[in-house]
Amino acid sequence: MASLLDTAQPDDLDPTAGGQTPEPVTADCAPGGLMEPAARTDVLNRLKRAEGQLRGIQRMVERGEDCLKVAQQFSAVRRALDSTYVRMTVCLLEQEIGARLSPETALATGLPEIIGELEAMLSRRG
């Protein structure tokens, strides 16, 4: 099922990326939310990556690695979870708006662009 908004989403950071810009991905949320296989797969993949990063941090702590290196990995996993949270927020908006407006009405009012701008703004936050 087509989404009201089909834009690139920021992906999680790889734990070895060293703060590089993540690769964009596309997720299809409206109108079924996480009932849509693409949206569910996207969120699950993001969570699995974050879980892997957390396990890596646990191993680093167990080995007594340098605090700076551990802190850098904490930062990476936090950004990955923040990215997933932004994706879920946009998914919720698409789902709720999709349930109330026809795709033609949403396109005519510029809604996909507004949601895209909101997502970009949320992705830049702190």
For residue 14, the SS3 value is coil
* Tokens describing residue 111: 């809604």
- Between CA 125 and CA 123 the distance in angstroms is 6
Question: Would you call 37 exposed, middle or buried from its count of C-beta atoms within 10 A (0-12, 13-18, 19+)?
Answer: exposed
Of 110, 49, 116, 112, give the one whose Cα is nearest residue 84. Answer: 49
In the predicted structure, residue 96 carries a pLDDT above the cut 90: no
**pLDDT confidence of residue 123:** 80
pLDDT greater at residue 2 or residue 66: 66
Q: What percent of the chain has pLDDT over 70?
A: 73
Lowest mean pLDDT among 58-62, 75-79, 104-108: 104-108
Give the predicted TM-score (pTM) of the model: 0.63
- CB-CB contact of 29 with 95 (8 Å): yes
Q: For residue 95, what pLDDT band results from cuts at 50, 70 and 90?
A: confident
Segment 96-121 mean pLDDT = 82
In the predicted structure, residue 30 carries a pLDDT above the cut 70: no
Q: 15: which DSSP letter? A: T
